[in-house]
Amino acid sequence: MDPNKIKNASEGIAPMGITALNETILTNQPESRYECPVCLNWLRDPVITTCGHKFCKSCITSWLQNSGHCPIDNINLSMKVDIFPDNYTKREIQEQRMSCPFATKGCAVKVTPLDLDSHIASCEFNQPEASSQPQVQVPCTFSALGCKETFETQEDMNDHLHSDVQTHMSLLMNAYSKLQIDNDISNASMDAKEQEAMLLWEPSKDGAASTSPPVNNTSALIRALYERVVVLEQRNRELDIVIANISKQMSAFAVAKMKQNNDLILRYCMGNYIWKIDNFKARLEAMQKDHFKMLYSPGFYTSPNGYRFCVRLNISPQNPQCFALHVHLMKTEYDDCLEWPFNGRISFAMINQYNPELTQRDTMMSNSTLIAFRKPSTEICVRGFGYTEYAVVNDVARNGFVKDDTLISDELESPGKCIMSPPQLGVGDDGGDAREELKLLELSSSGSEKRPGTPYKTYIVPSHSKTFVYNDTDIFNNKT
Amino acid sequence: MANIAAKRIKREFKEVMKSEEVAGGAIKLELVNDSWTELQGEIAGPSDTPYEGGTFVLEIKVPETYPFNPPKIRFVTKIWHPNVSSVTGAICLDILKDQWAAALTLRTVLLSLQALLSAAEPNDPQDAVVAKQYKENPQLFHMTARHWTNVYAGGPASIVEFNQKVQRLLDMGVDEHDARVALSTYDWELERATEQLFS
C-alpha cells in the first residue's frame, strides 16, 4: 500500500471519544443507520429517497433500472426527482475510523469503513501469514497417547515414528489398560443399576400387553421401560379425554334437568299457579317510571294438555295509582284439541304474607263473547281479561303483601267441560330490600278444583277501589 | 455485480445464523458450494397447520444479479400445497416474482415461505389440482397435506387409510410417489386413481 495514503487516512482521525467507541466494533459490520439495505454494506455515496430511505448511489441506481419502487416500502420512486445525495450521512461515515484486522500483527493503520476492504487487500501484514506458516510445528501422531514430540517437517516425523516404536507401544499399552479399568468400573455400576431396575420391573397383569418382562441387558430394559411409559402416557391421555367428555355430558344433563323441572311446574300446576314476583320494589319503580313496562308471568297450563295462560301485571293506564291485572291465553301445541272459547272461572289471590286473612281474592267468570277467550292466533293473545284497577299500588307495598321484596300472586283457572282440573296461576315477584312479600293474585276456577278454600269464593278487600271488574283490554292500547 | 451478490449473501448468511429463528429451529440455511451461488434452506412446518412437525428442504439459487433480482427457490421436499407444484416444487409467491424488493433477505424470504404454509392463497395457485381440493374439500385437503408431511417431511401423523390405499397400488406394481399423486389428485378414490394410472 502507498505509505502516503496511509498517512493521509490517519491524519483525518476523528475526536478521541468517537474513535475509541468505533474501535470497539471489531468486525466490519455497519450500524443499521449506515448500512445500505441493498448491498448490506457501508453506505457508499449515500443518497436519501423522498420516502426517507438511504442507499448507496450505485445500488439504488441499479435497482431503479428494473423497478420503479422503493426496495423497502414499494413507494414509487423516480431516479430524477426522488433521489437526493445525503452528504450528512456521507460525512458521518467518513469520520468513522476502523482499525485494520491485522492490528494484532502490528498494522497500526486506521481507515474509514469504506476504505477498509481495499486496505485489507493490500495490507503488508496480510502477506506475512504465508511466511510464518512453515514454522508451525506438527505434533507426533501419537500425541493423543502422550507423546510430546513435535516436528517441522513430515520427514522428521517419519524418522521419529520409526525410531520410537518402543515408546509408542508402551504408551499404547498404558492407554489400553486404563481403558479396560474404566470399562470395568462402568460395567460394575451398570450392573447395580440394572439389578435395581429389574427389581422395579413389574409386569402388567394382562400378559399380552407386556410380552418380555425378563430383559437381560440394560439397553433392552430401558427400551422396554420406555415403551411402557409411552403406552401408559397414551392410556392416561385417552382416559383424560373420556373424563372430560363425561363431565361435559354431566353438566349439559344438569342444565337440561333444571329446565325440564321448570317446564314441569308450569305444565303440571293444574291451573293453580303461584306467581312469585321477586325483586318487586325495583320492578315497581321501573313500572312507575315507564307505564308501558309490564310484568308477564311464565305461561302455565290448566292441565298437562290444557289451556295455557299467563298473567300480566302493570300500572293501570287509566289510573297510575293502581295496578292492572289481566290473564292472557297463550298458544299451545294442542290448541286444536280444546274447546273454544275458553269457559271457566278465574280467581286471583294476592297473598298477604303477614296476615293471611287480609289476602285479596277475586274471582271472575269467562265471557265467551270476548276475543280474549277465543283460540289465540298469536303466541300471546293480544286481548287480556282482568282488572284495570286491581289494587292500589301503595296498599300493595304497605299492607303486608310484599315480604322479602317478593309479591306472591296466585291464579287459578278452570275451563268448562273438556278439562276437568282447573288451572291455577301463581305469580311471584321478588323486590329490592323491602323485606316484604306480596301475594298478589289468586285465580281460581270452578268445578273440580281441589284446592281447599279458594275455588268457590271471591274475596273482595274493601280498601281497594275497583271500578272495572270485567274488562276486555287490548294490551297494545295501553301504549296510547 | 457478481461481487455484490457474493458479498451480500455472505452477510445474509451471517445474519441468518445469528437470528433467533435459527436458534429456535424454525429455519435453517446451509451452503451447498463455495461460490455462494447455491444454498439449501430448511423451514419447519408451522404449528396448527397440516405441515406441523415436518421439515421442508428448499433449493436456493442466487442469481448473478442478486439482490436486484430475486433468488430462485423451490421445494425439494414434496409438499401438498395450493401454491407449490406437487410435481416440481416450484413456488408461486409474489415476492419471489414481481414483488421482489432488494431489501428482502434470505431470512425474510424463508419466513415468508413459512407464512405461506400457514396461509395458502388458493386464488393464485401454482398447482390447480391442489387448489381445487383446498377450496372444494378442505377437510380432505388437510388430511392429504398431513399425509404428505408425514411421508416426505417427517411429520408425525401417519394416516392409516391413505397408507393402505397407497400400498394397494404398490401391490399392483405402481411407483409409490405416482400412486400417492394419483390418489391425492382423485380425492383418494382408489378406482379413479387406478383408472388414471393404467389408462
| Average pLDDT rounded to a whole number, residues A12-31 | 45
Enter the CATH code of domain A269-412: 2.60.210.10
Domain segments of chain B as ranges: 4-118, 128-198
Q: Residue A227 belongs to what H/E stretch?
A: helix A218-267
CB-based contact A77:A83 (threshold 8 Å): yes
Residue with cell 429451529: B25
Q: Enter the pTM of the model.
A: 0.45
> From CA A362, how far away is CA A425, in angstroms rounded?
13
Distance of CA A361 to the CA centre of its chain: 54
Q: Which fold has domain B4-118?
A: Ubiquitin Conjugating Enzyme (3.10.110)
Nearest by CB to B102, from A29, A37, A41: name it: A37
Q: How big is chain B, counted in residues?
A: 199
CB-based contact A444:A336 (threshold 8 Å): no
3-state secondary structure of A124: helix
What are the pLDDT digits (tens) for A60-85? 988 888 888 888 888 888 888 888 99
Residue B92 catalytic?
A: yes
Q: Residue A154 belongs to what H/E stretch?
A: helix A154-163
Name the active-site residue from B92, B143, B166, B174: B92
How far is A154 from chain B, CA to nearest CA, in Å?
30
Residue A453 — pLDDT band, cuts 50, 70, 90? very low
pLDDT of residue B198: 84
Closest Cα to residue A97, out of A37, A8, A32? Answer: A8
Contact criterion met (CB < 8 Å) for A40 and B102: no
What are the pLDDT digits (tens) for B38-97? 999 999 999 999 999 999 999 999 998 888 899 999 999 999 999 999 889 999 999 998
Res A478 pLDDT > 80: no
Residues of B within 8 A of A44 (CB-CB) are: none
Size of interface A-B (CB pairs under 8 A): 43
Res A251 pLDDT > 70: yes
What are the pLDDT digits (tens) for A312-366? 888 888 888 888 888 888 888 888 888 888 888 888 888 887 777 878 888 888 8
pLDDT of residue B188: 92
The dihedral built from the CA positions of residue B141, B145, B150 and B156, taken in this order, carries a sign that is negative
State the alpha helices, DSSP H only, in A12-111.
16-23, 57-66, 87-95
3-state secondary structure of A95: helix
- pLDDT top residue among A105 and A17: A105
State the alpha helices, DSSP H only, in A268-295.
280-289
Residues of A within 8 A of B104 (CB-CB) are: 71
Task: Please tell me the class of the A20-122 domain.
Answer: alpha beta
DSSP string, B151-191: HHH--S---HHHHHHHHHHHHTT--HHHHHHHHHHTTT-HH
- pLDDT top residue among A146 and A176: A176
Do A20-122 and A269-412 come out as alike in CATH topology? Answer: no
